[in-house]
Amino acid sequence: QGALLGVQGMNGPISADGTAGSAAIFQSFRSGAWDAYASRFVFVTDADVEAQQLRSIAPGGSLGTVANLPNVPSSLTYRHDSTHDLVYYCGRDDRILHKYDVSSSTDTTLDWPIAKMECSGRAMVYSSTRNSIVFPFTQDGIAGVAEYLNP
């Protein structure tokens, strides 16, 4: 198999933790990011039942669950600082940025300086050099790319 995850032509819910990636049932994912600290890919799926589960897979490894997020993300990025694993995500329903600390299971809504601005899309990047999150947004029907400094 040349893919990281999934068996071609299989349908159904994503496989359980511990299932080898080469044998896993996996239809599609909503958003994901590379966790360089743990050398794994973290992601959320499009499946309604599992949409809040942050799953993981290492190359050649097995599925795991990192956390159950309190909101369904439309996009996310992941980083490890000196003591915490952090997930930054755009809430699918509230369309604002959240910071989820995996270590303490704490979800924080990030301060949002512009009331009509909403995060959107399925892409988000954490920039370690600028300590910022870069993400797509919409405001009054206009789309753009924004940067949130020091999240």
Instruction: Name the pTM for this structure.
Output: 0.87
| Each residue's pLDDT expressed in tens, for the chain with a length of 151 residues | 355 666 666 666 778 889 888 888 766 677 889 998 999 999 887 665 557 888 898 888 899 999 999 998 999 999 998 889 999 999 989 999 999 999 999 999 999 888 899 999 889 999 999 999 999 999 999 999 999 999 9
Up-side HSE of residue 54: CA atoms within 13 Å toward CB? 28
DSSP 103: T
